[in-house]
């Protein structure tokens, strides 16, 4: 059977999404064919809306649809938990084990991929440190995450702010976003100073 161009094109779009293989992408494309016009319009509008309304919190770098995110606006900034990506905040929030604020680096240090400190949201972290009791580094427990944690500790500790690292309850090489709530809260609770 000759492939229908528009179906293949839509499937190719879906396959660019994380975790979507070619088979699933094709199933999604067929699902769109089964939608009503209204449903397709709503789908397109939701895509556009997310792109136009979601931006980065001017304080912490989390996703928000206002200038400052809900967490920064409502919590004490005595403890700052540093994460690599906004999705990591969602995972930690689900554990309910942390009641401070966050800071999103938007990446990790990686000499292999030429990602240097200048590529990460670090400068604004340093400008937030006055009056802070502790910085907890919750980057992934892999080589890049560890290197990032050590780098931050070297930078922040001389400024008189204690820096700690989440415990290795999360197994080495795994990703924070997939850790369950109990493991994450244990990792936070048993954090060690750097």
Distance CA 149, CA 82 (A): 9
Residue (of 133, 42, 111, 119) closest to 84 by Cα position: 119
Does residue 170 interact with Zn ion by CB under 5 A? no
> Exposure pattern of 105-118 as b/e (b: 16+ CB <10 Å)?
bebbbeeeeeeeee
Residues in contact with Zn ion, total (CB under 5 A)? 6
Min CB(84)–Zn ion separation in Å: 15
Closest to 105 (Cα-Cα) out of 88, 90, 92: 88
Closest separation between CB of residue 100 and Zn ion, Å?
A: 12
* Site membership for Zn ion, residue 69 (CB under 5 A): yes
When asked if residue 72 is in the footprint of Zn ion (CB under 5 A), the reply is: yes
Is residue 60 involved in binding Zn ion (CB under 5 A)?
yes
Coil, helix or strand at residue 48 = helix
Q: Per CB under 5 A, which region of 71-79, 82-90, 146-154, 170-178 contacts Zn ion?
A: 71-79
Binding site for Zn ion (CB under 5 A): 57, 59-60, 62, 69, 72
């Amino acid at each position: 059977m000759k492939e229908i161009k528009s179906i293949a094109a839509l499937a190719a779009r879906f396959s660019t999404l994380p975790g979507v293989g070619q088979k699933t992408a094709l199933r999604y494309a067929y699902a769109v064919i089964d939608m009503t016009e209204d449903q397709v319009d709503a789908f397109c509008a939701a895509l556009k809306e997310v792109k136009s309304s979601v931006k980065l919190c001017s304080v912490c770098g989390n996703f928000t649809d206002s200038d400052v995110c809900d967490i920064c606006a409502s919590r004490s900034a005595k403890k700052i938990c540093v994460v690599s990506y906004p999705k990591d905040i969602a995972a930690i929030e689900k554990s309910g084990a942390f009641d401070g604020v966050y800071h999103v680096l938007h990446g990790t240090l990686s000499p292999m991929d030429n990602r240097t400190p200048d590529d990460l949201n670090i400068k604004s972290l340093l400008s937030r440190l006055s009056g802070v009791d502790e910085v907890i580094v919750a980057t992934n427990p892999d080589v890049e995450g560890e290197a990032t944690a050590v780098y931050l500790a070297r930078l922040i500790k001389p400024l008189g702010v204690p820096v700690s690292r989440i415990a290795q309850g999360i197994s080495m090489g795994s990703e924070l976003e997939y850790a369950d709530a109990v493991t994450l809260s244990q990792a936070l609770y048993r954090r060690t100073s750097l």
